[in-house]
């Protein structure tokens, strides 16, 4: 099934550089699979009319979303494409918008009976110090990715600094109990969990620096858990995926405590897609090559659009 694919990549969010790497890798993979591939960077301009979209799409069969962050992962672009009935990869607008908001996601998971750390949301510099979360606790923007704006707070002074910095990035922030344990991620493809990836920073925590510095973090896939705990973690990943209304694929991040309790952290509906990214690592462990994974994402979008027709 060879198709004309428009790869959306780059954009204007804080994750632009990561998205450009994702987009380049996806373009190469889809080209190698025989598709006709064109790239589009929303930073160059976003169509404002149906005719402008028609000119951009120009006979393309599907839009591959290789964007991260705002206007890419937050449902805005998905909503536009849905209104124009243009097929695209990944989650729909409603699930994308929900999953991009860490506070809304945690609330949805709790409604579904899933385990996630205690938290407090804030949208004001006057928000009181959240003593009930213990020390240190984690502070981060509600709607950013790639560990942008991640702080570990113990004092009132640190709290004030973190809140001020985060409210410059986002309208709302999240203060969250710090869960100690093994950091993992579960890729979900067509509703089914892939092999678990364990994330082990060589120093410190899994922040932006350790995430994107070569050799700074060790990744184990499949993660070394016993069969019973592995199955439990994977089922939780699938439930977390379903609870936000996700489709096609996503990546669910968790912490597993010494007591063997998996705590949900967040879900990424447009995770990184280079050959060394975490979702492709998990797919590779399941016997799915990077090229085949990219191709499958296109196939799912195309089949969905044909089913609607």
**Residues with a known catalytic role:** 15, 146, 212, 251, 253, 266, 268, 272
Q: Are strands 36-40 and 4-8 parallel, antiparallel or unpaired?
A: parallel
The answer to whether residues 186 and 251 touch, using CB atoms and an 8 Å cutoff, is yes
Helical residues (DSSP H) of the chain, grouped into ranges: 16-32, 50-57, 76-83, 93-100, 102-111, 156-169, 208-212, 227-243, 278-285, 290-308
Whether the link from the prior residue into 222 is cis, omega within 30° of 0, is yes
Radius of gyration of the chain (CA): 19
Residues whose CB is less than 8 angstroms from the CB of residue 229 and which lie 6 or more positions away in sequence, other chains included:
256, 260
Across the beta sheet with 151-153, what order do the strands follow?
Answer: 119-122, 173-177, 137-141, 151-153
Q: What is the four-CA torsion angle of 115, 92, 289, 217, rounded to 10 degrees?
A: -50
**What residues pair up with 39 in beta bridges, in sequence order?**
7
Judging by DSSP bridges, how do beta strands 62-65 and 4-8 pair with one another? parallel
**Cα(147)–Cα(27) distance, integer angstroms:** 25
Q: Are 73 and 270 in contact (CB under 8 A)?
A: yes
Closest by CA to 7, choosing from 203, 294, 304, is 294
Cα 274 from Cα 26, distance rounded (Å) = 7
């Amino acid at each position: 099934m060879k198709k004309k694919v428009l790869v959306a990549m780059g954009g204007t969010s804080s994750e632009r550089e990561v998205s450009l790497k994702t987009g380049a890798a996806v373009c190469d993979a889809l080209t190698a699979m025989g598709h006709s591939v064109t790239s589009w960077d929303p930073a160059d301009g976003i169509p404002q009319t149906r005719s402008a979209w028609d000119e951009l799409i120009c006979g393309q069969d599907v839009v591959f979303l290789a964007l991260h962050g705002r206007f890419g992962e937050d449902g805005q672009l998905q909503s536009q494409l849905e209104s124009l009935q243009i097929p695209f990869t990944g989650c729909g607008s409603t699930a994308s918008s929900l999953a991009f908001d860490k506070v809304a996601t945690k609330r949805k998971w709790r409604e579904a009976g899933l385990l996630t750390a205690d938290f407090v949301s804030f949208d004001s510099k006057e928000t009181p110090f959240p003593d009930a979360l213990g020390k240190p606790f984690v502070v981060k923007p509600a709607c950013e990715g790639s560990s942008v704006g991640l702080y570990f707070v113990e004092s009132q002074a640190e709290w004030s600094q973190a809140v001020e910095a985060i409210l410059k990035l986002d309208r709302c922030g999240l203060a969250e109990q710090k869960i100690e344990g093994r950091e993992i991620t579960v890729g979900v493809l067509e509703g089914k969990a892939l092999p678990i990836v364990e994330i082990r920073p060589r120093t410190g925590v899994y922040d932006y620096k350790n995430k994107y510095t070569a050799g700074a973090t060790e990744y184990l896939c499949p993660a070394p858990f016993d069969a019973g705990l592995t199955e439990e973690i994977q089922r939780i990943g699938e439930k977390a995926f379903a609870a936000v209304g996700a489709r096609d694929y996503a990546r669910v991040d968790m912490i597993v405590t010494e007591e063997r309790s998996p705590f949900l952290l967040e879900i990424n509906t447009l995770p990184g897609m280079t050959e060394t990214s975490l979702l492709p690592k998990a797919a590779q462990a399941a016997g799915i090559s990077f090229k085949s994974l990219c191709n499958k994402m296109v196939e799912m979008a195309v089949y969905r659009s044909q089913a609607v027709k």
